[in-house]
Amino acid sequence: MIMDPKKGLEFLQGLNLLPDNLDPRSVACFFRTFDFRDMNLDIALRIFLDTFRLPGESQKIQRVLEAFAESYFEQAPNILANKDAALLLSYSLIMLNTDQHNAQVKKKMSEEDFIRNNRKINGGDDLPRDFLTELYHSICENEIRMVPDQGGAGAVLTRSHWIGLTHKAKQTPPFIVSESGSHLDFDMFTILSGPAIAAISVVFDHAEQEDVLQSCIDGFLAIAKLSASYNLNEVLDDLIVSLCKFTTLLHPSFNESSILDFGDDTKAKMATVAVFTIANRYSDHIRLSWRNILDCILSLQKIGLLPARLASDATDELESSPDYDQVKTSATPSPAPQATVPSRKSSGLMGRFSLLLSLDAEEPAPQPSEEELAARQRTLQTIQNCHIDSIFAESKFLQAESLSQLVRALVVAARRPLKGNNSLEDEDTAVFCLELLIAITLNNRDRSCFYGKTFMSILPVLFNQLNASGESKCNADQISYGLEDNHILLSITARHPEASESGFETLSYIMSEGAHLSPANYVLCVNAARQFAESRVGHVDRSVKSLDLMAGSVVCLVTWFHQTKEAAGEEAAVKMSQDILEMWMRLIQSLRKVCVDHREEVRNHAIVLLQRCLTGVEGIRIPTDLWLQCFDLVIFTLLDELPELAQQQSPKDYRSMEGSMIFSLKLCPKHFYRPA
């Protein structure tokens, strides 16, 4: 920008926009740009003289004032009779300005002197005394400042400039109709979004009045709506990050003692509701800021303020289906009485899983005061207004990228140590994140390809973390109690190319050598192993290893059966024996299903292992009626199914089926005459 007037004229002359020799017509065109309508003479003169430097020669001054007087009289004649009256009065005002504001003039002109000097100038008549009095006081109180030669200095907003702007504002229509429509909205919002978030954040940070805070929240929500509308995901992430700072949930010192402060902090509660409102309304457009949202959720989970059904809502639909009921019924033998476990904060799908993290007795907590109860109630009401459970319950409607980022954020949060040294709080966090991941997986089981590998990568890490913890002696032994629902996930991963490896590692960790098998999770793990055995993912080797895991579990059944003799009471021993016999029956039925696999190696290996499981229970007394049931449901059924399967094969495959049928016939002689 050129600030020097002389250089500006030279620039315009170089572009041939102005002639080389400036003439009076150029000056006249400049004078015609002024709008003096409905403007007093003193104001018009101020604006006029404030736009250029008045020349020093009296002859040039006279010509300039003559041009001004002519222009003013044409636009605002008012009470002036002609342009000569405007010229004489303008000269008089300039002389009055010099008289009143020049320090060298000792005797100042009075009001009467000014009125007397302007007699008979209006076409031979006097101007109204009130008019002249107003002009006199205006000049005396506010000097007309002549514009100096500013050279390269920047323009200064003077009083005359301000008066001119206000005058133009009064004459400008209140609305300007744009013909561009909404073509520039995206570009404008892209430029303004960052400064707008920063500006609203500053006001929100310093404001105390609730109406001002609500206006800021409305502004945040408006920015979120526009960001989602224009698919500006980074802007939405920045907004969420800014809002999360106001929730106070991310402060390192936030704990149960902070509930009282949070319940009384209007600003923090409004920011918290705003964060989760955005997360529910515009979740499709959230990317990296899922981590900040989850940090807020984990802070609430740490002090037990989350809804009780946060994760279980995602499994209700599944649990109510007939397929799930069938699986649950077939997979769960009659449970043995369990010891009472102290109450924990975690709830939902993995509630029982969380309970196993600490089996030590908890000291009774001190009774809270009425003030603390009221603060907690206010906090709970705020959390209820957040509808946090809807984020995960409605995850099945999320776009793929947002869903993937949410799952990735949960995995990162589960792996991130809070206290270090495998603390109990770290375990709680990891299990809670796993609980949410299960809820998301069950809600999105039809599109697990987007996140299956990421999700399954956390399971071995979680199990190893819990196994390494010394907080509870029996954590590792009972880690799989929660698999009543998790085996569904393992069944899903069995057929997922990317997640199957991690899923099989998890299952192997539980079942290898019966290290972490228990009567409560036995049938669940056997069913999951059968899914891996029947799956074509991982090729034949994985199917064979899955069958080995199933057959190897017979050792656990024998061990548990011998332990029933030490059970307290005959009734309890009988009940436990019946449960073990039921588990054995489930095992051989599962093996029988794999015995009709189309792959020869898998089929024959399953038949061999079925025979081993039938003969490897010498330490268990199996009643005659159960053996009859075994022949009817397992051996005879298999002998019927194999010929039917052989008839469906090609001649080449039929020869391989003959070997399988020979293997299956060997099951009868060894067990038909088995003594009861």
Give the per-residue SS3 of 519-558. CCCHHHHHHHHHHHHHCCCCHHHHHHHHHHHHHHCHHHHH
Q: What Rg do the C-alpha atoms of the chain give, in angstroms?
A: 44
Distance CA 663, CA 642 (A): 11
The SS3 of residue 122 is strand
Six token digits for residue 355: 């309970």
Q: Tokens 């209006």 sit at which residue?
A: 122
DSSP at 368: P
Six token digits for residue 324: 């799930």
Q: Are 393 and 348 in contact (CB under 8 A)?
A: no
Kindly state the greatest CA–CA separation across the chain. 147
- Residue whose C-alpha is closest to residue 230's, from 162, 266, 282, 297: 282
Six token digits for residue 78: 């008012």
Question: How many C-beta atoms lie closer than 10 Å to residue 336's C-beta?
Answer: 13
Residue of 57, 208, 363, 566 with catalytic role: 57
Any residues with CB less than 8 A from the CB of 47 and at least 6 apart, and which? 34, 39, 160, 163, 164, 167
Q: Are 613 and 635 in contact (CB under 8 A)?
A: no
Q: Tokens 């907690």 sit at which residue?
A: 376
Helix (H) or strand (E) holding 456: helix 452-456
Half-sphere exposure of 104 (CA within 13 A, CB side): 1
**Residues β-bridged to residue 125:** 122
Going through 369-446 in order, the beta strands assigned E by DSSP cover: none
Distance CA 413, CA 370 (A): 35
Question: CA geometry: angle at 337 spanning 336 and 340, to 5°?
Answer: 140
**Is 57 noted as a catalytic residue in this protein?**
yes
Distance CA 93, CA 676 (A): 131
For helices 424-443 and 400-415, what crossing angle results, to 10°?
160
For helices 651-665 and 636-647, what crossing angle results, to 10°?
170
**Active-site positions?**
57
